[in-house]
Amino acid sequence: MQRIDGLLRSAIDQYQMIADGDRVAVGVSGGKDSVVLLTSLARLRDYLPQRFELVALTMDPCFGGECTDYTPIARLCGELGVEYVLKRTKLGQIVFEERKEQNPCSLCAKLRRGILHNMAKEAGCNRLALGHHFDDAAETFLMNLLCGGKIGCFSPVTWLDRKELFLIRPMIFVEERLVRSAAKREALPIVKSKCPVDGNTKRQEIKDLLWHLEKDYDRLRIKIVGAMQRAGIDGW
C-alpha cells in the first residue's frame, strides 16, 4: 500500500485536493477501487500536513429488489476509525424495472452521482472522493472520442456550484494493476456488484480494446494520460 499512498499524496498535492479542516466523504461501492481509496486515505490522515476528517458513504442500488450485505465494509470502517453511512435506494428498480433503459449505465451513473452528492452534503462534507484511477482516465478519454466524438475526460478536481461540493479523484496516478494487487495483498473486503449488466458494458468494451491496442502500441494508456496533461484537458 505504500506505493499507492505515495501516488495518492502526489495527486493530492499537485491538484490541491484536500485542505486543512476538510471533511471528506469517500464514495464506497464495495469494489476494489473504492475500498483501496478509503484504506489509503485513512492511512494518509497520519502523514499529510492537512488535518481532515473522513466519512465513508455507500449507496445500495438494491438491484433485483434485494439489499446487499455491506457488513464487511462497515467492519473495515470500524477498523480504520472512519464513520460509515449506508443508504438503501430504489435505483435498481427505477433503472431496470420502471424505466427499462436500453442504455442503463448512463441513467444509473447520473442517478448514483446525485444520490452520493446529497449524501455527502447531509454528512456535512465539503469534498467527495471518488475511486477513478489512472486506467479509468485513459478509458474515459478513448470512450469520449470513439463514442461521443469529443475530446475530454473527467477532471482531477471538479467544483459543483449548486451543491457547493468539490469532487476529487485522488487515485488518478494509480494504475489498476496496483489497485488489484493491493486489494489482494491486504486482504481487503470486496463486495461484488449485483448489477445485471456488470462486465457487459461499453466501458468494458473500451477496456478490452485498450488491452488489445497495447499489444501493438506500447504504454498507450500512459501516452493518453500524458497527452491530456500536456494539453491541459479538463484540468489535467
* Residue 91 binned pLDDT confidence (cut-offs 50, 70, 90): confident
Closest Cα to residue 23, out of 119, 114, 160, 113? 119
d(CA 171, CA 184): 17
> pLDDT per residue over 47-76, tens digit each?
999 999 999 999 999 888 889 999 999 999
Residues 6+ apart with CB under 8 A from 236: 153, 155, 156, 225, 228, 229
> pLDDT per residue over 180-190, tens digit each?
999 999 999 99
The per-residue pLDDT for 115 is: 94
Return the higher-pLDDT residue of 201 and 12: 12
CATH architecture of 2-235: 3-Layer(aba) Sandwich (3.40)
- The full DSSP string for 74-139 is HHHHHHHT-EEEEEE--HHHIIIIIS--SSHHHHHHHHHHHHHHHHHHHTT-SEEE----HHHHHH
Which 8-state DSSP code applies to residue 163? T
The per-residue pLDDT for 221 is: 97
> pLDDT per residue over 191-235, tens digit each?
998 877 776 688 899 999 999 999 999 999 999 999 999 999 999
User: By the 8 A CB rule, do 73 and 58 touch?
Assistant: yes
The per-residue pLDDT for 12 is: 98
The per-residue pLDDT for 64 is: 83
Element (H, E) at 157: strand 157-160
d(CA 34, CA 234): 23
Mean of the pLDDT values across residues 34-56?
97
The per-residue pLDDT for 148 is: 92
SS3 of the chain: helix, strand, coil, percent, to 5: 50, 15, 35
Quote the mean pLDDT of the chain: 94
d(CA 202, CA 228): 22
- Statement: the pTM of the whole predicted model exceeds 0.85: yes
Domain ranges in the chain are: 2-235
The distance from CA 192 to its chain's CA centroid, rounded to whole angstroms, is 15
The per-residue pLDDT for 105 is: 75
Instruction: Tell me which of 30-44, 81-95, 177-191 is least confident.
Output: 81-95
Q: Tell me the HSE value of 34 on the side-chain side, using a 13 A CA sphere.
A: 22
> pLDDT per residue over 98-148, tens digit each?
776 667 777 788 888 999 999 999 999 999 999 999 999 999 999 999 999
The per-residue pLDDT for 93 is: 84
> pLDDT per residue over 159-182, tens digit each?
999 999 999 999 999 999 999 999
